[in-house]
Structure formats: C-alpha cells, structure tokens
C-alpha cells in the first residue's frame, strides 16, 4: 500500500543534487546551472558591459535573447533521468514544477514587474535606438524594441503585465513550499492557478492580440519577430499549461495516496 510517507519520499528536494542510485554525470544539475548562467547571468553581464561602454546595446540584444530562449527551457530536463536513476513520474513532475516556477517567477519579478512600474514614466521615452542616457533601460528595451506595445501606450498589454508580474511572488512562494515539501496541496494549487493564468494571458494578449491587428506593433525585423516575440514568449504558452496539467495530475496522485492510507488505517482499527 502506498502511504503518505511513501509519497513524500517520492518527491526529493530540488536542493538535494545527488539523488540515491545516481552514478556518473549529473545532467539535470548541470542543465539548471547552465540555465542560471544563460538567463540572469547573461543579462547581468551584458548589462554591466553596456553600462561601462565595453560593448554596444546592439547586437548584444540578439545574443542575450538567444541565451534567454535556450535557458528558459531548462525545466524540461526534470524529465531526464541521470545514469542509474529510476525516478517516478510523480518525482519528475514535482521537480518540473519547482524549476519552472523558479524560472517563470524570476522572470516576472526581475523583468516584468519593473517594466510595469517604469513603463509610463520611462519606457515611453525609448525608441528604436537607445540614447547614451538611456542605457540603464537596456534590459527592457531588448524586448520592447521588437514588441513596441511595451514602450507605447497599450492598455491591454499593461493590464496583462500588471497581473502577470505580481503573480511572480506566488510562483516563488509555491516553489519554496514544494522544495521544502510543506503544504503540498496548497503549493500545487497555487502553481496550477498561476500557470494557467500565465498561459491564458500570454497566448491571448501577447500572441492572439497581435495576430488580430496584423502584427502592427512588431518591429526589429526577423530577429524581433521570431527570436523575441515568438521565442521569448513561447515558454509561457507551452510550459505553463504543461505545469498546470501536471499539477492537476500530482494532486490526483496525492489524494489517491491519502485516501488509500485512510482506508488502510480504518481497516486496521476494525
């Protein structure tokens, strides 16, 4: 019989890099480290070099966008077993949720949230090329130069981003609870709701909203269209719904395990 204790043991902490029965190269650990280097690392290094005049804002925006696009998919490595491992699907989905919540939540708090509060006062002043006194805004110009709704008046985009950005706090909180295996069903419920909201908002406002107006707000050529607009939003239209569906499946498994335990305890008391 699968007890609640057994279920908890099937969900190893993400902080425990060396899982039992693991031998050789730890592909997941290295993938997550690489993602941390490629996403916040690349952003911060490039931003620093631009502010100090070592490199130019362009084409640094293209290179960093490529790095971001690759790094954002790191959560998929949660489904890859290291040599010698035989993890359950519950453990894989559990790890996927944590990694994606950290990735998505970090993006919301690190990029989206400042963009919401800076848009009217500062981002409206940006153009297709950054001026020397605007280099501090390079991280937000990187994407806004392609999807100009971010640096032009657009009520739907601003409202969408305001909701999505603040959900980052919930995502980080849910990731923390899952990594500590505390309030498990509450944490998974938060993950389901935030990710479904991200999928709905991203697909409707970012993609469909622009398709319906014949891409009139998109600039920066093919790089802006395919790499930035399509590429840097795609994860929230693919990984977010996957996280919601996976979270629902994890809740079902948890409830089944708890029910089986309760029935077993009731039989023992008879």
For residue 241, tell me if it sits in a domain.
Answer: yes
For residue 134, tell me if it sits in a domain.
Answer: yes
For residue 148, tell me if it sits in a domain.
Answer: yes
pLDDT above 70 covers what percent of the chain?
91
Alpha-carbon distance of 140 to 127, in angstroms, equals 12
Alpha-carbon distance of 70 to 78, in angstroms, equals 15
For residue 212, tell me if it sits in a domain.
Answer: yes
Domain hosting 209: range is 4-10+26-269
Count of domains forming the chain: 1
Using the predicted structure, report yes or no on whether residue 61 has a pLDDT greater than 60: yes
pLDDT digits 0-9 by tens, 208-244: 999 999 999 999 999 999 999 999 999 999 999 999 9
pLDDT digits 0-9 by tens, 130-187: 999 999 999 999 999 999 999 998 888 888 888 889 999 999 999 999 998 889 999 9
Using the predicted structure, report yes or no on whether residue 200 has a pLDDT greater than 50: yes
* Average pLDDT estimate for 182-206: 93
For residue 16, tell me if it sits in a domain.
Answer: no
Residue 191: its pLDDT value, please? Answer: 96
Nearest residue to 167 (alpha-carbon basis) of 193, 205, 186, 147:
193
């Amino acid at each position: 019989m699968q007890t609640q204790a057994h279920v908890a043991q099937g969900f190893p902490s993400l902080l425990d890099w060396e899982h039992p029965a693991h031998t050789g190269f730890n592909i997941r650990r290295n993938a997550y480290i690489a993602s941390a280097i490629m996403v916040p690392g690349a952003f911060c290094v490039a931003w620093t070099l631009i502010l100090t005049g070592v490199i130019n804002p362009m084409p640094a925006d293209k290179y960093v966008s490529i790095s971001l696009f690759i790094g954002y998919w790191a959560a998929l490595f949660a489904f890859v077993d290291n040599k010698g491992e035989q993890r359950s699907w519950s453990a894989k989905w559990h790890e996927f949720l944590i990694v994606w919540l950290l990735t998505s939540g970090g993006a919301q708090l690190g990029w989206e949230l400042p963009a919401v509060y800076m848009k009217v006062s500062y981002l409206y002043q940006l153009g297709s090329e950054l001026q020397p006194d605007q280099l501090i805004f390079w991280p937000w110009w990187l994407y806004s130069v392609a999807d100009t709704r971010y640096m032009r008046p657009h009520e739907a985009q601003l409202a969408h981003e305001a909701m999505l950005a603040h959900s980052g706090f919930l995502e980080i909180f849910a990731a923390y609870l899952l990594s500590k295996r505390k309030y498990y069903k509450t944490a998974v419920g938060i993950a389901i709701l935030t990710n479904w909201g991200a999928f709905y908002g991203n697909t409707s406002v970012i993609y469909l909203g622009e398709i319906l107006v014949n891409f009139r707000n998109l600039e920066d050529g093919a790089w802006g269209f395919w790499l930035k607009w399509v590429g840097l939003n795609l994860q929230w239209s693919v990984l977010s719904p996957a996280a919601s569906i996976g979270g629902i499946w994890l809740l079902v498994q948890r409830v089944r395990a708890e029910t089986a335990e309760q029935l077993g305890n009731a039989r023992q008391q008879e």
